[in-house]
Structure 1
């Protein structure tokens, strides 16, 4: 543990309650070097736009797609090799069987709802549909509720904004949308089927072949912190690692710590984000980090 300086800085932190972050948030993992003020909104993704548009936070979690866009548009944040959340996404595309069975390619020419085109869950499930099942994503009309987190970003031409206040799950159940890409919001209804056949078995087979769990959110810090207080950045990483070590109920397969351990997953996120017109140019995995953060772990 570091020796306490005269005044440990307090950092505005946007971080949700997950199994892997709970010990940081409940005080079991603490620091003499820095105080994390968990002042972000609930859910934490409601703070992502303010983070990348207004520098509203010094550190915290950020969706990997939002971070890729932030990097592409020159925003002052740097990635720590510390996933905060991740999961298989094969089960996150669904449809209502009342309106007919859909195989993955059947969504071509149809209307599919997704909260935001640049949402990370959307990236991963669209990538699975494209690369595993041959779906032409350009032939789908993506019906969205929200814009992206980056002001500089615009959705592709085959996106249409739904009226404010629309419910994508309700519209899917009513047949107003042919299918939807939904994470935890998928209706718990016996009529709902996954677009990916036998989704959990498909995810297991995919993991056996590809060897990584799709990353949702990772920890980021403001670049000024990394440049001026590398000791604090190392300390934050230590806190994340210690909190993960105390976590209970984490899935047996979960994105690991470390740059190299996450390289394949991050490369897939970059490749798929470029392919889906979410980022304007190719990035390298190493560009996502600086010399300090890339060496952590």
Structure 2
């Protein structure tokens, strides 16, 4: 954190341009308490490793899985109850029908591609496959392109690294991978099918039952900022809320603001992260926040 000539703190901020952050990014939502320096890379997830390994930013977005790992390994960031992105994930596992129909359990014993094992989309779709379709995740060989954001973390033994420069979507289309967890990178190809049958309806049914929209990224601040300038942290939360209120094009079903409103979704992320060997021990929802951020509403 630096200061301007007038003494106003400048926060190094890693935050992408989403509908819910657009007013904030464009300066339509601003504050006299601080200035936000949007110095993070594009896409923002390219800054996550620098955030948790080097404390490169004072504030910004972080994948919920990366934050859970950061908390487990003692990194100096604290969560705000402010999701920045989230969506249903049932459609995020695909395969090429040309190589035969696949039911979810059919990926057991096969190779499935994913950018990194700890990718948040991967956490959610693997959890869906395990808990909704009884897939034994330990019997799948997860083919990855890179390591996770935390230096302390090692992938499970059933992960293998693909050669540098590999294209997971192309390998899935070519049948070199039985399936792939891809999210927005899923090829727009008529041969591609979702591994979850009728994924859109399955997501609606799941939401009707669980009442949770899976969180992708949430807003975090450096622990020192929360300790020394709680007024700035409260202001940041209010600015995020105002930016969300000004947003256009936000899905009708989107992760809400507030700790209690997100408790079930965060708990689910913790449970599934532990189950998938992504965090080394159980965390509680409340320990992800401090006295300042936990009281934001």
Partner of 1:131: 131
Moved runs in structure 1, 4+ residues, more than 4 A? none
Partners of 1:93 and 1:59 in 2: how far apart? 32
Partner of 2:205: 205
Mapping for residues 129-278 of structure 1, pairs under 5 Å: 129-278=129-278
Secondary structure of 2:263's partner?
Answer: helix
Partners of 1:175 and 1:100 in 2: how far apart? 10
For residue 248 of structure 1, report the CA deviation from its aligned partner. Answer: 0.3
Partner of 1:281: 281
Partner of 1:30: 30
- Per-residue CA deviation, residues 185-243 of structure 1 (Å, 9 max, x unaligned), is 00000000000000000000000000010000000000000000000001111110000
Partners of 2:67 and 2:209 in 1: how far apart? 26
For residue 58 of structure 1, report the CA deviation from its aligned partner. Answer: 0.4
Partners of 2:97 and 2:28 in 1: how far apart? 47
Partner of 1:15: 15
Secondary structure of 2:128's partner?
Answer: helix
Partners of 2:234 and 2:263 in 1: how far apart? 20
- Per-residue CA deviation, residues 257-281 of structure 1 (Å, 9 max, x unaligned), is 0000000000000000000000000
Partners of 1:8 and 1:216 in 2: how far apart? 31
**5+ residue gaps, structure 2:** none
Partners of 2:56 and 2:292 in 1: how far apart? 23
Task: Give RMSD over aligned pairs.
Answer: 1.0
Partner of 2:63: 63
Partners of 2:103 and 2:274 in 1: how far apart? 25
Mapping for residues 46-125 of structure 1, pairs under 5 Å: 46-125=46-125
For residue 7 of structure 1, report the CA deviation from its aligned partner. Answer: 1.9
For residue 27 of structure 1, report the CA deviation from its aligned partner. Answer: 1.1
Q: TM-score, normalised by structure 1?
A: 0.98
Partners of 2:183 and 2:199 in 1: how far apart? 13
Partners of 1:99 and 1:80 in 2: how far apart? 45
Partners of 1:239 and 1:156 in 2: how far apart? 39
Partners of 1:188 and 1:293 in 2: how far apart? 41
For residue 6 of structure 1, report the CA deviation from its aligned partner. Answer: 4.4
